[in-house]
Amino acid sequence: MIPSPLAKVNLLRSLFKILILVLILFTSLNAEEFNIIYFDPDGNLRNITSLQSEGNKYFQTISPEINFFVIASEQILNTEIDRLKPQFMIVQSLYYSRQKGSLGFKPYFIFLTKENYFYHKKIITMSLEIKTLDDLDKKVVASALPKEITKELTGGERNWKILTVPKDMDALMALKFKQADAALVAENSLESFKKLDPADSQNINPIFTTKSIFLPLGVSTKFTTNKELLAKLTETIKKIKADANGSAFIRMMNFDDTSDNKKTLGSVP
């Protein structure tokens, strides 16, 4: 039986509709989410909601597919990585060093503060009896870093009682109010404290300086599949300082700019 011309038209219409549906399905499958996670236990991760909102505002100008997540604890991060499968991460350098193999990190940029890409922390004390790290045996050390990182930065397992505080300023106050025998704080926090309390600052003695801690890095991961968006993202971030949203976002993270200097990136252990 020969189909009538009307039936042919209807058949073509149906085929066309199916084609459109397949195309929509294909496009939606391709428009997978591009998740970015920011994790820096030594950074400004307290005001998570605002930071996340500021970050999303910036990243979604690059592509609406990007979702930005701020995660404060390593424990949460370990579970969220499997769920979110981040195609890009901004991570603390110590975490980068530990996980670059297992998470397939490839660095693209490093953050800068006052043109520096690293900082130091110091162990300080107000006790005249404490002169070396060994003198801190069984003593209380206040630190705003997780215990494992505090240990890593100060030469491994020690018989210290670590008082975990939210901020360097709290660690300094623990020292002032004799709730800690020593504190691990960043150099710039110590400088701020000197301005606030010149009298007590005179009694502060640094007894140890950590190795250089690199500022956080922007890295692709083993989950990165959207190379096109990765290229767009990393190219756009080069001009982050010139962008109003970008500049507000990095200011909130307490950074000034980014650098993609290969030599610097290569020197991060």
Query: Contact positions toward other proteins, by CB under 8 A?
Result: 44, 46-47, 49-50, 138, 140, 142, 161, 163-167, 169-170, 173-174, 176-177, 179-180, 192-193, 196-197, 199, 251-254
In the bound state with other proteins, the residue whose beta carbon lies nearer, of 138 and 262, is 138
The C-alpha atoms of residue 155 and residue 184 are separated, in whole angstroms, by 13
Tell me how far, at minimum, the Cβ of 163 lies from other proteins, in Å.
6
In the bound state with other proteins, the residue whose beta carbon lies nearer, of 134 and 137, is 137
Strand partners, 163: 142
Tell me how far, at minimum, the Cβ of 196 lies from other proteins, in Å.
5
In the bound state with other proteins, the residue whose beta carbon lies nearer, of 13 and 147, is 147
Which burial class, exposed, middle or buried, applies to 225 when counting CB atoms under 10 A from its CB (0-12, 13-18, 19+)?
A: exposed
> Taking Cα atoms as reference points, which of 146, 151, 163, 154 lies closest to residue 41?
146
Tell me how far, at minimum, the Cβ of 51 lies from other proteins, in Å.
9
The three-state secondary structure class of 95 is helix
* Residue 33 CB contacts under 8 Å (≥ 6 apart), including other chains: 65, 67
In the bound state with other proteins, the residue whose beta carbon lies nearer, of 142 and 217, is 142
Six-digit token string for 103: 């998470």
Tell me how far, at minimum, the Cβ of 15 lies from other proteins, in Å.
54
Cβ pair 207, 182 in contact under 8 A: yes
The C-alpha atoms of residue 110 and residue 137 are separated, in whole angstroms, by 36
In the bound state with other proteins, the residue whose beta carbon lies nearer, of 178 and 227, is 178
Tell me how far, at minimum, the Cβ of 186 lies from other proteins, in Å.
12
